[in-house]
Amino acid sequence: MTSEAKFHPTAEQLGGFARGTLTAGMDVVISAHVELCADCRSRIGSLEAEAAAEMLQAVPETRPVNKDFSSMIDSIVNHAQTQADEQTSDPVTEIHMLEHSVRLPKVLAKVASEGLVWKKLAGGINQASVTLDDQTQCEFLYMKPGSQVPVHKHQGSEVTLVLDGSFSDESGHYKQSDFVVRTANDMHQPASEEGCLCFAVLDSPLTFTKGLARLLNPLIRYRFRRATAAASH
């Protein structure tokens, strides 16, 4: 399912991902992009090495931070070690949207595995919100073929990862694995000709989700199926 992305996380976002200093919502959407994007995957190793040098730098012996942790050692070495053979591959997970199914990156499969509740928004958009932390709003968005998101403005920044299909806005055309970043000043109107499944992370809610459109939304549940790894062999 690897494809060539044209739009990637910023250097700052990837660096924060490697250091572990972002919100869980942002970690999840970057992780999903990294699984789909060989370019970004190849950069993570050196970013982690940089982060390691920065975060695990030697502490001067004289600093008061030095503590005696030696009593921990005995309890640790009595634990059994993990053997490489014990690692099991994760189940392959698919999400079913109307007629077709989409294979999700592992971390999103995990996010979706507790079940998604889809709400119908205006303009042919379906939304399933998930809560990952207390600072971001995260959601799967499904745009039906021919749909258009009402014009909206962001209060904060928004990251959208394309999982299947494609969408366009004033600035470009986005396909599977593209990582689209919009900041507070951007006003845009995404539209999808062929239909599109995305995962979006907002650091504050879109204005239209608070408006009248929300009152019109009946709940829709889509089935979610988990295919086991065994089935693919």
DSSP state of 68: -
Mark 79-118 with x for binding to another protein (rule: CB under 8 A) and - for no binding: xxxxxxx-x-x--x-------------xx--xx--x----
Shortest reach from residue 79's CB to another protein, in Å: 6
Give the Cα separation of 194 and 12 in Å (integer).
32
23 close to 93: Cβ distance less than 8 angstroms = no
Shortest reach from residue 63's CB to another protein, in Å: 8
Residue 35 or 139 having the CB closest to another protein = 35
DSSP state of 92: P
| Residue recorded with tokens 């593209």 | 178
Q: Is 170 exposed, middle or buried (0-12, 13-18, 19+ CB in 10 A)?
A: exposed
Residue 77 or 230 having the CB closest to another protein = 77
Give the Cα separation of 159 and 197 in Å (integer).
14
Stated as kind and residue range, the H or E segment containing 163 is: strand 158-165
Shortest reach from residue 204's CB to another protein, in Å: 18
Mark 41-80 with x for binding to another protein (rule: CB under 8 A) and - for no binding: x--xx--xx-xxx-xxxxx-----xxx-xx-xx--xx-xx
Runs of H (alpha helix) within the chain: 11-19, 24-36, 38-55, 71-77, 106-112
Shortest reach from residue 91's CB to another protein, in Å: 12
* Number of residues in the chain: 233
Shortest reach from residue 140's CB to another protein, in Å: 13
Among 4, 10, 21, 171, binds another protein (CB under 8 A): 21
Give the footprint of another protein on residues 134-193 (CB under 8 A): 134
Shortest reach from residue 61's CB to another protein, in Å: 9
User: Could you give phi then psi for residue 55, rounded to 5 degrees?
Assistant: -85, -30
Among 5, 14, 28, 202, binds another protein (CB under 8 A): 28
Tokens of 176: 């599977």
Using CB under 8 A, list all residues that contact another protein.
1-2, 19-21, 24, 27-28, 31, 34-35, 41, 44-45, 48-49, 51-53, 55-59, 65-67, 69-70, 72-73, 76-77, 79-85, 87, 89, 92, 106-107, 110-111, 114, 130-134, 232-233
